[in-house]
A and B are shown apart, each in its own frame.
Chain A
Amino acid sequence: MWFQRLPSERVLRARPVDGPFAVTSSEGNHDRLYCLNREAESQGLERGMGLADARAYVPDLVTRPADIDADRRFLVMLARWATRYTPHAGLDGENGLVLDITGAAHLFNGEEAMLEDMKERLSRARLSVKIGIADTRGAAWALSRFAPGIVPAGKTSAALGPLSVSALRINEKTATALKRLGLNTIADINALPRATLARRFDMGLIARLEEALGTRGEAVSPLSEPPHYGVRMTFPEPIGLVDDVMAALSRLLETLCLRLKTREAGARAITLAVERVDQTRQDVTLRLARPMRDASRILRLFERPVGEIDAGFGIERIRLEAGVVEALPAEQIGEGGLVEGEALDDLVTRLGARIGLDNIIRFQPVASHIPERGFTENPAAYGRVEAEWRMDHPRPLRLFPPEPVTSQAARRPPSRFSWRRMRLETAASSGPERIAPEWWRPDEAWRTGLRDYWRVDTRQGLRLWMFHTPQAPGWFVHGLFA
């Protein structure tokens, strides 16, 4: 199956254009036509032409940049569609599909009927296609490019004989070399002894020839069906009530969770796409604090985001897809109710839906003497951090950016000072604890060098964590014990 105009037709399907149209790809700083529609071709344009030249020939040419990844995805989608004919459907190059229809043709009343069916369906989808059916993959390829149609079993070499040597899936250079030698058709090559061919060209040519003629086997490797965690539901009448959406969602979730369960996987992010009658689409993504496949729990987590959907004139179709899937082996669950920790994970998910999952954090201890670096903040969704916390030296409950205190004291904490408009009097102090900056890290706050930390108990009650910077004299309050 060969889709001659796949890139342009893919774009045109979404946005039909009357008149010449082309998809361009940029090579270096030069735009070239990559794929054209029929009108453009009939006006004398061709593939590989520069865009500027093409514009000069056809001023009203409409173009779009090529998107090779999207083309590829489209082709994979077509391959999935092709599994309606046979389970053995694979990709063939950038714009072809290969189907092994052995034993499947009679289900469609024979090869002719099947071919007609394929053509009809694809033309309805506005895709132009050329199809060749033959005994071997190589022959079918040749037919699709050079003589679309069906070759009955056993007539392969007769049918391929008159075709050009280019039909053998060989590169341009080999094809030209063969033509220079006067070997224009496949029959010409086939008549020659293999040994001379192999001496003049490489074994690749012989392999291609034999594959086409069927003396050498070539398998069709079907696309492995990737597990697809998406379900959808289309409604006969548009719906708008939250309860209705939730009911539909619960049905979809059941299917989805069953699918996840059979593969022992759990969803980490689920996207609900809601398509309204006015052709607009809203996506609601639920990011879960841990992989889950429990339909009723996920449904409860969806309650809030679903309430925020604007149904407009009604919802026509909903689609649910597990975007991020992780392995989740089956595990023994307790008797009824939630397992310890699950309630907490649900809470994290629900909070995450409101304020963003990245804003929910757990602390993790870090081996550093720098007080601000004694811990890091990890997203809580990563799970519980199993690391021991220890406090070797007194540390305040509250830390804030250092606040300067005016004082002339040098070695010991000032006996009187004012901080945050409070006049404080030192009653007791303990220290110093000298902390040196981590020189291997650039840190603006530690530019002042060494710090001598003191714990200062004031007569007013406040217990402050103050430091003195001997290298740039000054006193600062860095934290509050209580």
Chain B
Amino acid sequence: MQDDFSTIFPLQRGRAHDASGPGAAFFAAALAGTADGPVLWVKPEWFSEMINPVALSAFFDPRDLIVARTKDHTETLAAGEEGLRSGAVRLVVMELDRPVDLTPGRRLQLAAETGRTIGLCLFPEGMGNQAAATRWLCRPLFSASDSTLQNWSITKNKTGTNNNWAVRWDEAARRIHVVSKAAERAGFKGPSG
């Protein structure tokens, strides 16, 4: 299971991916933690949900973060595309509230390929980018002993099969650990592996 996850998780560069669900921000933060470089976060101005850089500091250095505030959906996509194409950042996170059609989705994909950058679109649950390489559904899992346990499931995968994992964030090592199903069921205690 672990090998399986490691082939997919730091997401493939040069592709656009999707994440949705209540744990999407966690997913983006964890991905930024593995990106090791500047991160562009594009977010419409009117979204009342802020990202909190103080909490992001558990995942990566917020000094690497550049936030672009946009006016609407189109501008978010345009700014995201610009960021992906430039190759100056390692990860571009776009917060969206509407599904992305095939044409703009494909544009994001091409831009990501040009810039060899990871693109990640955060959607409300049930929406997505039709051209995304992978789509993730992220939900926090309750665990008595672990405060960051999440369930990440792939609901769309262009290059492999769908699957799901229980993962936790290791703040000291700054990486994601996969928690084995058995440990999860038994009420996980301590680091996996």
Contacts and interface: CB of A to CB of B under 8 A. Distances in A.
Interface string B45-70: 10011111111111001110111111
Contact of B66 (A355, A360, A463, A480): A360
B169 to A, nearest CB: 9
B35 interface: no
B83 A351 contact: yes
Given A398-B25, A400-B48, A461-B140, A343 B66 contact: no
Given A361-B66, A363-B62, A377-B67, 13 more contacts: A359-B45, A371-B52, A384-B63, A386-B63, A389-B57, A391-B54, A395-B52, A395-B54, A397-B52, A400-B50, A401-B48, A428-B144, A481-B26
A463 B25 CA distance: 13
17 contacts: A344-B88, A347-B40, A354-B82, A355-B75, A359-B69, A360-B68, A362-B65, A375-B52, A377-B67, A389-B53, A395-B55, A396-B52, A397-B26, A397-B29, A399-B51, A400-B48, A461-B22
Q: Which 9 A-B pairs have the closest CB atoms?
A: A343-B88, A482-B26, A389-B57, A363-B53, A461-B140, A359-B69, A395-B55, A347-B88, A347-B86
A436 interface: no
B58 A398 contact: no
Contacts of B86: 343, 346-347, 350
Interface in A352-370: 354-355, 359-363, 365
B13 interface: no
Interface in A431-460: 457-460
A375 B62 CA distance: 11
A348 interface: yes
Interface residues of A, number: 48
B35 to A, nearest CB: 14
Contacts of B23: 482
Nearest to A430: B147
Contacts of B29: 397
Contact of A396 (B55, B68, B144): B55
A140 B60 CA distance: 73
B54 A374 contact: yes
Contacts of A400: 48-50
Main secondary structure of the interface of A (DSSP, over half): mixed
Contacts of A410: none
Nearest to A403: B48
B25 A397 contact: yes
B79 interface: yes
A457 B87 contact: no
Contacts of B48: 400-401
Interface string B71-99: 10001001100110011110000000000
A209 B78 CA distance: 72
A372 to B, nearest CB: 8
A482 B171 CA distance: 15
* Residue in A346, A363, A391, A479 with the greatest tally of chain B CB atoms within 10 Å: A363
A55 B63 CA distance: 66
B50 A363 contact: no
Nearest to B22: A462
A389 B54 contact: yes
Contact of B140 (A347, A363, A380, A462): A462
Contacts of A199: none
A351 B92 CA distance: 13
Interface in A367-420: 371-372, 374-375, 377, 380, 384-387, 389-391, 395-401
Contacts of B51: 397-399
B107 interface: no
A275 to B, nearest CB: 29
A387 B54 CA distance: 12
B5 interface: no
A350 B148 CA distance: 37
Contacts of A350: 82, 86
A427 interface: yes
Given A344-B88, A351-B83, A398-B49, A482 B68 contact: no
Interface string B11-28: 000000000001101100
Contacts of A371: 52, 54
Given A355-B68, A359-B68, A482-B25, A347 B49 contact: no
A223 to B, nearest CB: 43
A482 B88 contact: no
Contacts of B82: 347, 350-351, 354
A116 to B, nearest CB: 60
A459 B70 contact: no
A482 B140 CA distance: 6
B139 A461 contact: yes
